Amino acid sequence: MKKAKLVKISFTVLKLTIFALAVVFVVQNIRAEENANEVWSRVSESFIDGNWWPICFALALLFLNWGLEGFKWKRLMHREYPISTLVSVKAAFAGNATGAFTPNRVGGFIGRVMYLPKDKVLIGTLNTFVGNLAQLIATVVFGVFGSGLISFQSIRMCTGEQSETASWIIGGLVGMGLIVLLHLYFYTSAWLNLFFKFKWFARYKDKFEFLSQHSKLMLAEVLFYSLLRYVVFAFQFYLTLSFFEVHMDFLTCLALVGYLYLTITLIPTFLGKLGVREGAAGLIFCAFSPSVSATTMASLLLWMVNVAIAAIIGGILTLFIKRAK
């Protein structure tokens, strides 16, 4: 009885800690941004001058964005532990809250597995990483697409001159990386069998083997949702850019967003901060922007919508999680 009470208290403390850390993360990051006050000012003014609809639309798409992420996890969990769509979406928001304050968002699985019984935690964790791999593949796919479109249409950026040879070398390396990621994603069993040849990994064969049982059709479905989620995200970026009077067609925006996030993905983790992303966005979108600050503010506003607001929502949802039995 005492043990059960102690577990309940510990779980409550964990939920409160996650909520507090999510709030601290959001507040600290917004305070650190020099453009934050200007963004808030522009958003407030939009409700007076009637230019509020891009922001409201982008905010509404937040739920589609994270809804798709939750549905990916639901599909991956279906065989081992079926969960409802509502639970999967709440888990995605909770995962965003725990991922927000951990390095490189590696803690995203924590909020999700809090919805699972203890014996399903490892399965939920591994399936989270499978979903993350699918999203990484989507990022690389759109990055390659963006790089190609930028080259063929000669879209001008302010990133400096780059030789054609260097472009081909980078493109070739990224292409080979994409092939490896796709093989790892669709042929997990081959990679697991390779690792299971080592005694240390072989001890955990029964715990990891379920990963090889995911059908290729289901994995293709999850990858499709990842690609769709990326398009939703790019459209949100398109809306925030138009709000700050950075105008272009959506296809060009999709290409530049793909190029931007491929660049962010390839740079070292310790450099992948919010400010670095804003700076990169300013350089990549500069040909279409009235000023660099307009693009950086659009990127910051999108971060506020998709990460900050979503983290607060996830933190609140975490407070109401009941430990699964």
Q: Which of 69, 105, 107 is nearest to 89 (CA)?
A: 69
Q: Burial-class residue 310 by CB neighbours within 10 Å (0-12, 13-18, 19+).
A: buried
pLDDT over 70 at 282, yes or no: no
State what percent of residues in the chain have pLDDT above 70.
Answer: 86
The upper half-sphere exposure of residue 6, i.e. CA atoms within 13 Å in the direction of its Cβ, equals 3
Rounded to the nearest integer, the mean pLDDT of the chain is: 85
Sorted by where each begins, the domain ranges of the chain are 2-319
- Structural contact between residues 117 and 243, judged by C-beta atoms closer than 8 angstroms: no
- Structural contact between residues 67 and 91, judged by C-beta atoms closer than 8 angstroms: no
- CA-CA distance, 273 to 35, in Å (whole number)? 15
With a CB cutoff of 8 Å and minimum separation 6, the contacts of 281 are 260, 295, 296, 298, 299
Query: What is the sign, positive or negative, of the torsion defined by CA atoms of 35, 237, 312, 44?
Result: positive
- Structural contact between residues 131 and 66, judged by C-beta atoms closer than 8 angstroms: no
What does DSSP assign to residue 262?
Answer: H
As a whole number, mean pLDDT of residues 174-193 equals 87
pLDDT over 70 at 156, yes or no: no
- CA-CA distance, 299 to 291, in Å (whole number)? 13
DSSP string over 121-190: HHHHHHHHHHHHHHHHHHHHHHHHHHHHHHHHTT---SS----HHHHHHHHHHHHHHHHHHHHHHH-HHH
pLDDT over 90 at 57, yes or no: yes
Tens of pLDDT, residue by residue over 227-276, are 999 999 999 999 999 998 888 889 888 988 888 888 777 765 544 455 56
Tens of pLDDT, residue by residue over 98-151, are 999 888 788 999 999 999 999 999 999 999 999 999 999 999 999 888 877 776
pLDDT of residue 248: 86
pLDDT of residue 163: 47
pLDDT over 80 at 23, yes or no: yes
Tokens coding 39:
């963004």
pLDDT of residue 272: 47
